[in-house]
C-alpha cells in the first residue's frame, strides 16, 4: 500500500499558499502594518493589555510544550517505528469542532464525496458533513456484545466498495459510549486502506491514556483530534488540536483563518501546558475517575437501573440504562431531575444501541452526592407511578 496525501486532499487545498502578513517577518518596532488601533483597547479595564494587536497566528510555544507532553506520556516510547511528535505535527482550531469541519473541507468535494461514521457517535461529524454537502455513510459499532468497539471487517468492506469515502471518524473513547476503541483495530484499518484518512477523535483520552497521537509519525493516513475542553477544564477558551503528518498539518495550517486562536485563548492554553498545571490535569482526571466508580456503584445498585453500565468507563461520564431500556421512564427521569432537582443529565435513549440510556457527566463530589440522592428519589417515585 502506498499512501499519497495528494490523492486525498482536494487539489486547490493541497496547493494552497498560507496567508502571509508583515508580522511573519517583523514583530518589533512601530507597528503600522495591520490596521490595528494604536491607541489601545477602548474598554478602560483592558487599556493596559495588548488586545489591540492581532494574536500570534502560530502558537509555537504551546505546540512545542503540548507535543513534548504527548511524547513523554506516549505508549510508543520504545517503538523504533514511531518518531517523537514536534510542533510541525500540530494545527490548532477553535475547539475540536472547528478541527472536524476543517478536515472535512480539506478532503471532501461537496456534492460528491463522503465520510464514514460509526454510530452511536458524536453528532458534529454529520452536522459538519451536512453543512458542507458531504454524504454520511454509517457502520454501527458492535452493539450486540455490549462492547461498542469498531467492527473492522465491516468498516473495511464498506471502504473497499466505496472509493468516494475519504474520511472515517472514530471516536475513542466514544461519546456517548465511553468506550476506548482498541488501538489494534484502528491500526488494522490504517494498514488495509489507503484511499483516505482515519480521524481518531480523542476528546476524552486523558481519562484513560493510550493516545494514538504519536502514531501519526508512523501512519501518514492517521489524524488524531484532541481538545482542552475536557481533562484540561478549558471548554470556554475553545482550543482543539489536530495531530497529523507535517505534510498534512502544513496544509491545515494554510487553510485556517490566520488568527483563529485569540490572544486570550493562546495565553490560557500556554498556562495549561506548564509542568505543574499538567500535573494538576492528571490529578483532576484521577479524581474524576474515582468519582466515576463511586457513581457507578451507587447508581447500578438501584432498582430499575440495569446492573451493567453501557459501553465503557474510559471517559468522564457514565452511560446508564434504565429498566432494561425503558425510554419513557428514562425520559421522564431526565426531565424531572432537571426541572425539580436542578440536575441536568443527557437523555441518549434515541441513539443506536442506547435505548433507555442517560449519559451522566461526573461532577464534583458534592454534585455527585446530590445527583445520587435525587436520582434514586425521582426514579423510585416515577417507577411507582408507572406500575400503578
Contact residues: ligand PLP, CB under 6 A:
95-97, 122, 171, 175, 201, 203, 227, 229, 235, 240
d(CA 93, CA 53): 20
Nearer of residues 122 and 347 to ligand PLP, judged by Cβ: 122
CB of 93 to ligand PLP, least distance (A): 8
Nearer of residues 105 and 218 to ligand PLP, judged by Cβ: 105
CB of 355 to ligand PLP, least distance (A): 21
Nearer of residues 186 and 379 to ligand PLP, judged by Cβ: 186
DSSP 4: -
Cell of 131: 453543512
Nearer of residues 169 and 304 to ligand PLP, judged by Cβ: 169
User: Which residues are 358's β-sheet partners?
Assistant: 320, 347
Look at residues 185, 100, 194 and name the one whose alpha carbon lies nearest to residue 142. 185
What are the start-end ranges of the H helices in 84-151? Answer: 95-107, 124-131
d(CA 361, CA 368): 9
Nearer of residues 222 and 382 to ligand PLP, judged by Cβ: 222
CB of 211 to ligand PLP, least distance (A): 14
Nearer of residues 241 and 295 to ligand PLP, judged by Cβ: 241
Lay out the sheet containing 346-347: strands in order across. 317-321, 357-361, 346-347
Q: Is residue 320 a contact partner of residue 299, using CB atoms and an 8 Å limit?
A: yes
CB of 94 to ligand PLP, least distance (A): 8
CB of 361 to ligand PLP, least distance (A): 10
Q: Is residue 319 a contact partner of residue 354, using CB atoms and an 8 Å limit?
A: yes
Contacts of residues 143-147 at CB distance under 8 Å and 24 or more positions apart, as own/partner, are 143/352, 143/353, 146/308, 146/310, 146/311, 147/179
CB of 232 to ligand PLP, least distance (A): 10
Nearer of residues 320 and 383 to ligand PLP, judged by Cβ: 320
Q: For the chain, what percentages of helix, strand and coil (3-state, to nearest 5) are there?
A: 45, 10, 45
d(CA 329, CA 304): 9
Tell me whether residue 5 is exposed, middle or buried, using C-beta atoms within 10 angstroms of its C-beta: 0 to 12, 13 to 18, 19 or more. middle
Look at residues 217, 140, 149 and name the one whose alpha carbon lies nearest to residue 183. 149
User: Which residues are 170's β-sheet partners?
Assistant: 200
Nearer of residues 214 and 240 to ligand PLP, judged by Cβ: 240
Q: Number of H helices and number of E strands within the chain?
A: 12, 10
The secondary structure of 7-32 as a DSSP string is HHS-HHHHTPPPP--GGGT--SSS--
CB of 96 to ligand PLP, least distance (A): 4
CB of 175 to ligand PLP, least distance (A): 4
CB of 52 to ligand PLP, least distance (A): 28
**Residue nearest ligand PLP, Cβ-based:** 95
Nearer of residues 175 and 245 to ligand PLP, judged by Cβ: 175
Amino acid at each position: 500500500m502506498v499512501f499519497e496525501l495528494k490523492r486525498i486532499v482536494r487539489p486547490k487545498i493541497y496547493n494552497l499558499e498560507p496567508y502571509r502578513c508583515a508580522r511573519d517577518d517583523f514583530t518589533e518596532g512601530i507597528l503600522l502594518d495591520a490596521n490595528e488601533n494604536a491607541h489601545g483597547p477602548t474598554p478602560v479595564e483592558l487599556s493596559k493589555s495588548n488586545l489591540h494587536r492581532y494574536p500570534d497566528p502560530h502558537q509555537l510555544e504551546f505546540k512545542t510544550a503540548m507535543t513534548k507532553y504527548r511524547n513523554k506520556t506516549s505508549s510508543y516510547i520504545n517503538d523504533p517505528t514511531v518518531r517523537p511528535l514536534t510542533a510541525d505535527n500540530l494545527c490548532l482550531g477553535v475547539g475540536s469542532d472547528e478541527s472536524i469541519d476543517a478536515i472535512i473541507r480539506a478532503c471532501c468535494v461537496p456534492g460528491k464525496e463522503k465520510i464514514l461514521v460509526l454510530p452511536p457517535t458524536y453528532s458534529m461529524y454529520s452536522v459538519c458533513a451536512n453543512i458542507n454537502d458531504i454524504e454520511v455513510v454509517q457502520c454501527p459499532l458492535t452493539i450486540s456484545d455490549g462492547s461498542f468497539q469498531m467492527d473492522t471487517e465491516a468498516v473495511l468492506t464498506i471502504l473497499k466498495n466505496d472509493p468516494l469515502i475519504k474520511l472515517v471518524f472514530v471516536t475513542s473513547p466514544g461519546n456517548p459510549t465511553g468506550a476506548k476503541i482498541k488501538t489494534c483495530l484502528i491500526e488494522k484499518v490504517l494498514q488495509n486502506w489507503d484511499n483516505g484518512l482515519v480521524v481518531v477523535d480523542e476528546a476524552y483520552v486523558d481519562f484513560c491514556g493510550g493516545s494514538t497521537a504519536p502514531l501519526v509519525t508512523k501512519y501518514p493516513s492517521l489524524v488524531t483530534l484532541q481538545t482542552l475542553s475536557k481533562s484540561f477544564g478549558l471548554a470556554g477558551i475553545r482550543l482543539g488540536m489536530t495531530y497529523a503528518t507535517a505534510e498534512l498539518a502544513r496544509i491545515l495550517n494554510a487553510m485556517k483563518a490566520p488568527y483563529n486562536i485569540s490572544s486570550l485563548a493562546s495565553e490560557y492554553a500556554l498556562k495549561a501546558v506548564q509542568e505543574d498545571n499538567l500535573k494538576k490535569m492528571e490529578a483532576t482526571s484521577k479524581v474524576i475517575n474515582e468519582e466515576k466508580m463511586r457513581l457507578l456503584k451507587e447508581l447500578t445498585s438501584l432498582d430499575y437501573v440495569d446492573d451493567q453500565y453501557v459501553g465503557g468507563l474510559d471517559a468522564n461520564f457514565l452511560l446508564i440504562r434504565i429498566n432494561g431500556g425503558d425510554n419513557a421512564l428514562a425520559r421522564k427521569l431526565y426531565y424531572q431531575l432537571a426541572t425539580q432537582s436542578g440536575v441536568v443529565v443527557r437523555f441518549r435513549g434515541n441513539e443506536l444501541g442506547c435505548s433507555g440510556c442517560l449519559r451522566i457527566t461526573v461532577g464534583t463530589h458534592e454534585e455527585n452526592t446530590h445527583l445520587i440522592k435525587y436520582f434514586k428519589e425521582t426514579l423510585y417515585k416515577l417507577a411507582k407511578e408507572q406500575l400503578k
